Amino acid sequence: MTEVLTGPRVARLALRRRRGGRQGSHVVAHVILATGAVLMAFPFVWQLIMSLSTNAEVQSVVPTFWPSELRWQNYATVFERLPFFSQLGTSVWITVIRTLAQIILCTAAGYAFARMRFRGRFLLMGLALSILMVPSQAYLISQYQIVQGLGWLNTVAGIVAPGLFSAFGTFLMRTAFLNMPNELEEAARLDGASPIRIFWTVMLPLARPSINVLAITAALWSWNELLWPLLVSTYQDQMPLSAGLATLVSDKNNTDYPVIMAASMLAMAPILLLFIVLQRRVIDGLAHSGLK
């Protein structure tokens, strides 16, 4: 006999089918996300395994996915070959100074370009953005000559100086201030607030997500920069960690890859811990700024 489907029964069947389709799509999405997570985590796991292996196991033609014995002494060898804590302190100083300088200068410049009216602002903004179109290697020689003339070679000031300002950070903060409603600024102006007070008490707190993004990108870029520190610092005890790791590759025919991987893991640890602690702020900042 043919079953008669009433209105409520049809609705229930449609709801079940809809839920089944959603569950199926959720399963597919989770499989894709899990696959992507494994692919992204594999280089990190492989680096950890290499840091605990022997040099022969790392260079074997048939790769060994797990060492025969965990060689924790590779991490001790790092401290024997590098002044690790001295280089770590230099990296921290460079990162902190550059990050704070970019937050101060880029937020002020971005607010001026977005909210203030003065002659030549579009020309100046265009000149600042043109820096992004020129490879940084194109002006390394001129930067080196300036730092050398100032007597800043082999100093933290010489490494920090070129990164105190960021064209990308200025553009990011200008976009953030442009997207804010004009009514807030007009209301503060009617209350008698000066431009500096409007910037400090009204606009700057609202731009906190974009400031978080600027701080994150500035810190990552400063921590990982390699070419410029190698040029202006020649003494190991005055190098940042990024340049210090490069000095471990002294002989291409006899490179101790496990020690290099162990040093890379130690250099990665501070910035990784910082990300874990500030993970929610990182994600919120990227989401609110629309930066991919």
pTM: 0.79
pLDDT of residue 223: 92
User: Which residues, at least 6 apart from 241, have a Cβ–Cβ distance to it below 8 Å?
Assistant: 84, 87, 88, 90, 91, 223, 267
Pick 81-289's CATH classification: 3.40.190.10, 1.20.120.420, 3.40.50.300, 1.10.3720.10: 1.10.3720.10
Q: What are the extents of the domains in the chain?
A: 7-51, 81-289
Per-residue pLDDT tens, the chain, 292 aa: give them. Answer: 444 445 566 556 555 666 555 565 677 888 898 998 889 889 889 889 999 988 888 888 777 788 888 889 999 999 988 899 999 999 999 999 999 999 999 999 999 998 888 888 888 888 888 888 888 888 888 999 999 999 999 899 999 998 898 889 999 899 889 888 888 888 888 888 888 888 888 888 888 888 988 988 899 899 989 889 989 988 888 899 989 888 887 655 677 888 999 999 999 888 888 877 777 766 666 665 544 4
Predicted pLDDT of residue 290: 47
